[in-house]
Chains A and B, each alone.
Chain A
């Protein structure tokens, strides 16, 4: 009943284990460097047009497509500043701890039954575990900055991330219950008759909201908002380290859009009658649609205050998710 994936195409093309490893790493890292840049550029332009302005028009001559490339070069050539009172090791490692989990997350995302890096049996569990690790990066950044306001920002961010971890996990758990497997490809294949967004719309909304809060995206961007605490835990960062935090945020948008589309929107599966379009394109389209939605929310909503945010999670989202799990459980038992 639960379809198993075949070998990945990388294994089919090359037989040498180490070569496959290198190719897979290259593809994952390459995707992680390119996709956030595309989403970041889309954010500049979409946000601009929603605000009746044009966005980047100059870099690269054609509608500023090279703006983020220029930004990347700018960050790379900046001086690497570590505050004198800061803890140099923790300060320097924090961006890595925040960013690497999102790179690693891409390893389990399938773009077709054969295009994936690893088909872990505990796929979604791995995903949720990795997104929890990046919380530590924020705390490290705030603590090591030797700046009271960075610390406050980091603690607020950590409180928010912990609060929204639970709805994320529980919503994913109800999908796992319906699919009957933790493997990402298994969950995608379990949506062969209908996408899970049809049976669990509430879970879909909860998962999206919780992922926004995990990424500190508006309207949950209070820890990193300019008017709040300059930039919260990341205030003291500049240059490449700062760029890595931003890359972690946009990489996270792509990653969590991918996870949400695997869990609820059928992953790489095409809707009925449109099966001629290749599956990786469907996956890319779904990731793009969800990323657009994330950007749309940024343009539209004011941000939640710390207490509103916490109340929303603990007093509303978590009970709702628990109800969702109970309903899914009951239906599963009743149908069998």
Chain B
């Protein structure tokens, strides 16, 4: 009967949902299943930082605070003294950070990394400014880069044919990207 059919179908839908288990992840007891490249917190590898100020300038929110000075060192093998910049302070204010990732993208020396850690809420907003030491600690939580998808173009950092492949992380056989590049070389 046309009248009331919708009513009965509606009851069927809710009954079906009742009988299927809910996929709720109960957060504090179960950690969430985060996708690769999740943006949780930004980590700083101080060894790679040359204090070029690119991240600080490009940050839309001006949340990166950098203080540095120059030092000079005599090289071991003689020659003039080389000067290098040394970080005094590198702080990211996570109260301002909008997690856009521009600083990570723009760093020419791979000193900034994304980490999937997100549980760093504080009771005092001042605690949300992470200094150099804390940012270095976050590097221990940075994940290795996710593997390349099937059939994707190999990245520019991939090994040149003739030399040994650098990392065995890619699931695609090294032969496939090597062939691809040989064709490109042959064409060029």
Residues of A within 8 A of B (CB): 46, 48-54, 57, 296-297, 299-301
User: A299 — which chain B residues lie within 8 A by C-beta?
Assistant: 14
The answer to whether residues A300 and B11 also contact, given A49-B17, A51-B17, A52-B17 and a CB cut-off of 8 A, is yes
| Interface of chain A, main secondary structure | helix
Enumerate the 4 nearest inter-chain pairs by beta-carbon distance, A residue then B residue, closest first. Answer: A50-B14, A300-B10, A300-B14, A54-B24
CB distance from B98 to the nearest CB of A (A): 30
Number of B residues near A (Cβ < 8 Å) is: 13
Assess the B20–A52 pair: CB atoms within 8 A. Answer: yes
Q: Which of B73-123 contact A (CB under 8 A)?
A: none
For B15, give its contact among A48, A51, A53, A296 (CB under 8 Å): A296
Determine the chain B residues whose CB is within 8 A of the CB of A301 once the complex forms. Answer: 7, 10
Contacts of B22 in A (CB 8 A): 48-49, 52-54
B163 within 8 A of A: no
Q: Which residue of A lies closest to B20 (CB)?
A: A52
Which listed residue, A48, A52, A57, A296, touches B26 by the CB 8 Å rule? A57
Residues of chain B lying within 8 A (CB to CB) of residue A53: 22, 24
Asked if B10 and A52 make an inter-chain contact with CB atoms under 8 angstroms apart, the answer reads no
Q: Which residue of A lies closest to B25 (CB)?
A: A54
Please tell me if the beta carbons of A50 and B26 are within 8 angstroms of each other in the complex. no
Decide if B34 is an interface residue (CB 8 Å cutoff): no
Bitwise, B33-73 to A at CB < 8 A (1) or not (0) is 00000000000000000000000000000000000000000
Most buried by A among B13, B17, B26: B17
What is the distance, in angstroms, from B87's C-beta to the closest C-beta of chain A? 45
Q: State whether the Cβ of B23 lies closer than 8 Å to any Cβ in chain A.
A: yes
- Chain B, residues 2-35, CB within 8 Å of chain A (1/0): the string is 0000010011011101101011101000000000
- Besides A296-B14, A299-B14, 20 other A-B contacts (C-beta < 8 A): A46-B18, A48-B22, A49-B18, A49-B22, A50-B14, A50-B15, A50-B17, A52-B20, A52-B22, A53-B24, A54-B24, A57-B26, A296-B11, A296-B15, A297-B11, A300-B10, A300-B13, A300-B14, A301-B7, A301-B10
By a CB distance below 8 angstroms, the chain B residues around A296 are: 11, 14-15
Q: How far is the CA of A49 from the CA of B19 in the complex (A)?
A: 8
Instruction: Report the minimal beta-carbon distance from B49 to chain A, rounded to whole angstroms.
Output: 45
Interchain CA distance A52-B20 in the complex, whole Å: 8
- Chain B residues packing against A (C-beta within 8 Å): 7, 10-11, 13-15, 17-18, 20, 22-24, 26
Would you list 30 pairs from A and B whose C-beta atoms are within 8 A, ordered by A residue?
A46-B18, A48-B22, A49-B17, A49-B18, A49-B22, A50-B14, A50-B15, A50-B17, A50-B18, A51-B17, A52-B17, A52-B20, A52-B22, A53-B22, A53-B24, A54-B22, A54-B24, A54-B26, A57-B26, A296-B11, A296-B14, A296-B15, A297-B11, A299-B14, A300-B10, A300-B11, A300-B13, A300-B14, A301-B7, A301-B10
**B residues near A49, Cβ cutoff 8 Å:** 17-18, 22
User: CA of A301 to CA of B9 in the docked complex: distance in angstroms?
Assistant: 11
Bound-state CA distance A299–B16 (Å) is: 12
What's the Cα separation between A46 and B20 when bound, in Å? 12
Inter-chain contacts of B7 with A (CB < 8 A): 301
A51 to B10, CA, bound (A): 13
Residues of B within 8 A of A54 (CB): 22, 24, 26
Q: How far is the CB of A71 from chain B (nearest CB, A)?
A: 20
Contacts of B26 in A (CB 8 A): 54, 57
Tell me how far the C-beta of A316 lies from the nearest C-beta in chain B, rounded to whole angstroms: 12
Q: In the assembled complex, how far is the CB of residue A311 from the closest CB belonging to chain B, in whole angstroms? A: 16
Cα A300 to Cα B24 with chains together (Å): 21
Give the CA-CA distance A49 to B18 in the complex, in Å: 5
Question: What residues on B are CB-neighbors of A50 within 8 Å?
Answer: 14-15, 17-18
Nearest residue (CB) in B for A292 is: B18
- Of chain A, the residue at the smallest CB distance from B9 is A300
In the bound complex, residues from chain A placing their C-beta under 8 Å from that of B18 are 46, 49-50
B30 to A: closest C-beta gap in Å: 11
